[in-house]
Structure 1
Amino acid sequence: MVSHEESGDGEVEPDSDLRNFGETVKAFRRRAGLTQEQLAEQVRYSVQYVGSVEQGRRHPSVKFVSRSEEALDAFGVIRIAAKQLQRRRGLASWFRRWAELEDVAIALNTYECRSIPGLLQTEAYGRAQIDNVPPLITPGEAEARITARAERQKLLVRTPYIAFSFIIEQAVIERRTGGVEVTREQIDHLVERAKLPNVDIQIMPTIQPIHAGTDGPFRLLETEDNEWLAYSEGQQSGLVISGPKDISLLHQRYAKLRIQALNPADSAGLLMRMRGSL
């Protein structure tokens, strides 16, 4: 019986590395004389999940790799192929990997000091952000980004709920990206999103002498398999982090940030005062 039922959600466009990994799994499955259905039963994932991995449309989870290696008696080849994927996580294209992980997460913690997190942006704020950062892109590319962002935001209200925690620097809102009207709308949106039962939004005051986030923004995510991963992003680059020591360090920092930021109720009050001052 399949105990880790997976849908087709969270798939990404195939790339050569994922296709190569998928072909490796497929080759060993066929060598073992198994159908996708039979492998799915043995590794306790859905047939759709197995098919997506073999087609190079889904990044394999750690447990899928381990179970496939054992079920297919793959001489360590599947594990080695998975490690090759891990080594390429520093590429900017790995945000697609993080977006996929978000889609199957049960908890997501975000600290942001540069802009409103994409999951909480209004369309107007998102468009202003796109317009502000060179190089200028075509209207079609802008629409594609806005559409993708709107699709990701559906995670906030999807059931079963994902537990979201956001810590946002006050200065991000005070910047007034897009102007006063855009900022008012964005504040209203934050206040409304904070009312969702699965969403906590905390504001970090501009004046905070003791601050655990001075190394920059980051995100932490818990998967359905209760594995924790992190994501760090810079100019034209992104990195998915899986090392236990690094994850532990970021958990410690996030715990401190939650104490140092205003609690959700006080944060909502500050947001309304900021709106009133516009």
Structure 2
Amino acid sequence: MVVEGTVGTGGEPESSDSMRAFGAVVQALREHAGLTREELAERIGYSKHMVASVELGRRMPDTPFVDGTEEATGNTGAVRAAAAHLARQPGLAAWFRQWARMEREAIALYTYECRLVPGLLQTEAYARAVSLSVPPIPDEDDLNQRVAARLARQELMSTRRKPPSEFSFIIEQAVLERHTGGEDVTREQLDHLLRVIDRHWNVQLQIMPLRQPDHPGLDGPLQLLESPENRWFGYSEGQENGRLISAPKELSILQQRYGKLRTQALTPEDSRSLLERMRGAL
């Protein structure tokens, strides 16, 4: 099974040549403008680590990063021209790439998960544990690409994005009770979820309790996003496949299900309390 769009036997990672080429362009223009990585990061509202990762070809830049860097380096058009060739994302399954591109532009993203902690909320250790749990076991390079791709997507939740996107997550309590990767990994993952709640005012996290006799999510995980043009799309993923959903009737059904999930899950406040109790029990 492939989870959260990572690559398994059904989708090989693509070359990162275009990412390295884009990073080289950014570095050359930054240095020509007389900026350090820290100075560029401050001007465009990202971390120094993000700038370094993009320049080294390790992270896929989002649109605000490209636009900010273009402006900060003199509006020559070179950054946007180089970004036009960034079609490849190593570590992501072929069927997930279109959704990943849409995520970068979305103004709202809703996620219900009953299998694992959503990729946007995973720690590095949890991401590695997930990848190593599902056969076939990846080699070290493949594993590193999967984890890097997943962590890179988390820049989407930054409140520094203009405008910041809205995120809603509903996670089954059973996912956290599973202790994927062991107690140390689980402890770190719970701490991370609590930090996300504290630091990201644009993120709402709800836990679906273990006992819920009337459950609208029995058909499996689902994702919904709203585009900048206020159009809605859905995505569902199973073993070795994923499907983009744009038909209005299907989207209406998914929105009804997500709406009911929201009413049946614990409130954000009660979800936080449950996470704290689970953390304290470890």
Same fold (TM over 0.5): yes
Is 1:256 the counterpart of 2:257? The answer is no
Q: Distance in 2 between matches of 1:213 and 1:103?
A: 26
State the partner residue of 1:77: none
Q: Distance in 1 between matches of 2:195 and 2:277?
A: 15
Is 1:216 the counterpart of 2:220? The answer is yes
- Match for 1:191 among 169, 189, 194? 194
State percent identity of aligned pairs: 56
1:26-45, CA deviations, whole angstroms, 9 ceiling, x for partnerless residues? xxxxxxxxxxxxxxxxxxxx
1:82-104, CA deviations, whole angstroms, 9 ceiling, x for partnerless residues? xxxxxxxxxx6220001100000
Q: Distance in 1 between matches of 2:14 and 2:188?
A: 33
Report if aligned partners of 1:229, 1:242 keep a CA contact under 8 Å in 2: yes
- Match for 1:239 among 220, 243, 246? 243
Q: Distance in 2 between matches of 1:245 and 1:56?
A: 33
Q: Distance in 1 between matches of 2:210 and 2:142?
A: 34
Q: Distance in 1 between matches of 2:256 and 2:280?
A: 35
Q: Report the CA distance between 1:57 and its aligned residue.
A: 3.6
1:112-143, CA deviations, whole angstroms, 9 ceiling, x for partnerless residues? 00000000000000011111110011101111
State the partner residue of 1:27: none
Report if aligned partners of 1:93, 1:238 keep a CA contact under 8 Å in 2: no
Report if aligned partners of 1:232, 1:238 keep a CA contact under 8 Å in 2: yes
Which consecutive residues of structure 1, in runs of 5 or more, have no partner in the other structure? 1-11, 15-45, 59-91
Q: Report the CA distance between 1:210 and its aligned residue.
A: 1.5
Q: Report the CA distance between 1:110 and its aligned residue.
A: 0.1
Q: Secondary structure at the match of 2:253?
A: helix
Kindly report structure 1 stretches of 4+ aligned residues shifted beyond 6 Å: none
Is 1:136 the counterpart of 2:137? The answer is yes
Is 1:175 the counterpart of 2:175? The answer is no
Which amino acid counterpart does residue 126 of structure 1 have in structure 2? A
Q: Distance in 2 between matches of 1:180 and 1:56?
A: 38
State the partner residue of 2:102: 101
Report if aligned partners of 1:108, 1:220 keep a CA contact under 8 Å in 2: yes
| Structure 1 residues 56 and 146: alpha-carbon distance in aligned structure 2, compared to 1, 3 A threshold | closer
Q: Distance in 2 between matches of 1:242 and 1:148?
A: 25
State the partner residue of 1:150: 151
Q: Secondary structure at the match of 1:197?
A: coil
| Structure 1 residues 101 and 235: alpha-carbon distance in aligned structure 2, compared to 1, 3 A threshold | same
Q: Secondary structure at the match of 1:109?
A: strand
Q: Distance in 2 between matches of 1:151 and 1:114?
A: 21
Q: Secondary structure at the match of 1:215?
A: coil
Q: Distance in 1 between matches of 2:169 and 2:86?
A: 32
1:46-89, CA deviations, whole angstroms, 9 ceiling, x for partnerless residues? 9959x94xx7949xxxxxxxxxxxxxxxxxxxxxxxxxxxxxxx
Q: Report the CA distance between 1:174 and its aligned residue.
A: 0.2
State the partner residue of 1:226: 230
Q: So what's the TM-score if we normalise by structure 2?
A: 0.67
Structure number with larger C-alpha Rg: 1
Q: Distance in 1 between matches of 2:105 and 2:129?
A: 29
Q: Distance in 2 between matches of 1:165 and 1:57?
A: 27
Q: Secondary structure at the match of 1:167?
A: strand
Q: Secondary structure at the match of 2:217?
A: coil
Q: Distance in 2 between matches of 1:57 and 1:103?
A: 13
Q: Distance in 1 between matches of 2:109 and 2:165?
A: 7
Q: Distance in 2 between matches of 1:148 and 1:57?
A: 14
Which amino acid counterpart does residue 99 of structure 1 have in structure 2? A
